[in-house]
Amino acid sequence: MDAKEQLSLALQKTIAQAFEGVDSPQDITNFLEVPPDTAMGDYAFPCFRLSKPLRMGPAQIAQELSSAWQDHELARAEQVGGYLNFFLNRQNFIKGITEKVLSEGDRYGSKKLPGKKMVVIDYSSINIAKRFHIGHLSTTVIGAALARIYTFLGWDVLRLNYLGDWGTQFGKMIAAYKRWGSKEMIEEGGVQALSDLYVRFHQEAEENPSLDEEGRVWFKKIEEGDPEALTIFEHFKAMTLKDAKKVYQVLGVEFDSYQGESFYNDKMDPVIEELREKSLLIESDGAEVVMLEEENLPPCLILKSDGATLYSTRDITSALYRKKHYGFDKNLYVVAYQQTLHFQQVFAVLEKMGYGWAKDQCEHVAFGMVSYEGEALSTRRGNVIYLDELLEKAQEKALDILEEKNPDMDDKDTVARQVGVGAVVFSTLFNQRIKDIDFWWDKALNFDGETGPYVQYTYARIQTLLEKGRDITAVADYDQLTDDESQQLALAISRFPEAVENALNRNEPYLVTRQVVEIAKTYNKFYYEHRILTDNLGEASARLNLSRAAAQVIQIGLGLIGVETPKEM
Ligand code: ARG
């Protein structure tokens, strides 16, 4: 049990004693707040929560509770207005949390669930024959972070890259390839060569509309399973994946499945049939749609007038497939907010079909846009930032900084990769998902801001310190750690598990990032204000232990968001 849980239990007991027979809320853990100012205590209980059942003003409740409070080993309680403020007994608290972290190691904050829970996370979900650009960075790192967080908290996770591998554009691409391309050219030029072919196709089709017809014919061939068309298309797909996997490897991102849109080709008919049977399909200008007036949404297009299926048709089918085959408790789509309407429609159609789980268990985990050094990303104007190039540049820049700061360091290239890539990932996961991100190198790589390198540097600094204090074997004397800095650091560490749980409940990895920053900041204060390796060996030992615990939790937190921890920087 952590300090907060102990506190709420003790408070529960106090409430029962002070106000006999009152119906106090079962679990008050969630009512305990962190006061805005550390001088007001470590936790506070807003007594208005009890005003209704007690028919009493908050200040009076706080007064009575503070006189009834008895657990002084745990904390001191003080009434301020309608609040009961708690000051944890520092020695006990710091000792408790430090020893907990050191004994649990890299499992600190993790959970084993009594019953199994399963989540499908659809992320990255790149499109075939498009080069991996910065527009797919957020989905990739948010999704990967969520996958780690759910795993850490005991869920079964299916990491799914729902490839965009279906659509008429692939017919055009094959037509272009047949006309102007060759195996060699593509082998050499990679995905970029494919995109170039596609651009050329569009340019030439403006002069020569018969090209579009060629594209249609090739698409039909893909649909009908023509061997030549499929071979070419599979080749495009393999190439795109080969390039993408290089990026995934640098980012440390993995998937369990790459079943994308084309996988659902032969699975849509029964679903369309079901929609028809349930009288949900309405004809509209030759197309077939599901009306969503009651939901205040535009109609969801299911079949075009030429009988072709759509992105939504496949997403409805794939959600049903996931439910049936994986039995998920949650089904998450980490996709840009531009697709909000699409997911609202898909979930609404599922609901109309009678699948109540769509509303409760499916969630569009939306995120904002990324601009780069002040410029919005635009494929059209040509200022596209490719991810491989971005990560390359991150490593180069990190290397420059390291050369300057620590020229004698071993294995600088590895550290430069960890720091450079870490800076990109960290800044992508620093804010609420929905906020747009403006990426600046100077900001991301600043060693003093709230950045990846800053946190990594703190971790490395602790490693150096632990190395220096290696020979101190005295029993830790936590009674020496009564200062504010030790307390604030211990609090930040103790609040980590809650941050991870909140991150899961809200699908917001930035809550983990922020807590890690909080630990690094409070650690640095602790480090500057106090000599760690003092002559009082009992105190030195306690300070080293608290340092080791801080490093441990930083490592867990950074690991969850996908940032590595170099030992030296
Ligand atoms: N490939 C799509 C895109 O890049 C994202 C797919 C998201 N997943 C889904 N099930 N619709 O925009």
Ligand 1 atom 6 nearest Cα? 125
Question: Is pLDDT of 380 > 60?
Answer: no
Is the Cβ atom of 122 under 6 angstroms away from ligand 1?
Answer: yes
Examine residue 336 and state whether it is found in any structural domain, yes or no.
no
432 Cβ contact list (under 8 Å, min separation 6): 508, 510
126 Cβ contact list (under 8 Å, min separation 6): 132, 136, 161, 163, 164, 240, 244
> pLDDT digits over 111-129, tens only?
998 888 999 999 999 999 8
If one counts the domains in the chain, the total is: 3
The amino acid at residue 169 is Q
Which tokens go with 178? 């047949």
Examine residue 158 and state whether it is found in any structural domain, yes or no.
no
Is the Cβ atom of 335 under 6 angstroms away from ligand 1?
Answer: yes
Ligand 1 atom 1 nearest Cα? 164
Examine residue 31 and state whether it is found in any structural domain, yes or no.
yes
Sign, CA dihedral 551-555-561-565, equals positive
Q: Where among 209, 235, 251 does a domain terminate?
A: 251
Examine residue 107 and state whether it is found in any structural domain, yes or no.
no
Instruction: Considering the candidates 4, 95, 136, 172, report the single residue annotated as catalytic.
Output: 136
Question: Is pLDDT of 161 > 90?
Answer: yes
Q: Is 136 annotated in the active site?
A: yes
Which tokens go with 407? 């020229």
Residue 382: per-residue pLDDT = 63
Which atom, in ligand 1's list, is nearest to the CA of 318?
10
Which domain CATH number covers 480?
1.10.730.10
Q: For residues 120 and 314, what is the distance between their CA atoms, to the nearest angstrom? A: 16
Examine residue 189 and state whether it is found in any structural domain, yes or no.
yes
> pLDDT digits over 327-375, tens only?
999 999 999 999 999 999 999 999 999 999 999 999 999 999 988 887 7
Which atom, in ligand 1's list, is nearest to the CA of 342?
11
Q: Where among 251, 272, 289 does a domain terminate?
A: 251
Which of the given ranges, 3-7, 105-109, 179-183, has the highest pLDDT on average? 105-109
Is the Cβ atom of 233 under 6 angstroms away from ligand 1?
Answer: no
Instruction: Considering the candidates 4, 52, 112, 133, report the single residue annotated as catalytic.
Output: 133
Is the Cβ atom of 261 under 6 angstroms away from ligand 1?
Answer: no
Q: Indicate the helix (H) or strand (E) that contains 88.
A: strand 83-88
Which atom, in ligand 1's list, is nearest to the CA of 164?
1
User: Percentage of the chain surpassing pLDDT 90?
Assistant: 84
Q: Where among 207, 232, 251 does a domain terminate?
A: 251
Instruction: Considering the candidates 95, 130, 221, 237, report the single residue annotated as catalytic.
Output: 130
C-alpha closest to that of 512 among 124, 150, 149, 31: 149
Please state, in angstroms and as integers, the Cα–Cα distance from residue 346 to each residue in 218, 278, 313, 363, 364, following that order: 29, 16, 8, 11, 10
Pocket test for ligand 1, best of 127, 130, 162 (most atoms within 8 A of CB): 162
Examine residue 59 and state whether it is found in any structural domain, yes or no.
yes
Q: For residues 74 and 13, what is the distance between their CA atoms, to the nearest angstrom? A: 13
Q: For residues 104 and 84, what is the distance between their CA atoms, to the nearest angstrom? A: 32
Is the Cβ atom of 288 under 6 angstroms away from ligand 1?
Answer: no
Q: Are residues 175 and 73 in the same domain?
A: no
> pLDDT digits over 23-52, tens only?
666 677 789 999 999 999 999 999 999 998
Domain of 219, in residue numbers: 167-251
> pLDDT digits over 385-397, tens only?
899 999 999 999 9
The pTM for the full model equals 0.95
How does residue 307 score in pLDDT terms, banded at 50, 70 and 90? confident
Residue 218: per-residue pLDDT = 94
C-alpha closest to that of 557 among 507, 522, 520, 506: 520
Examine residue 175 and state whether it is found in any structural domain, yes or no.
yes
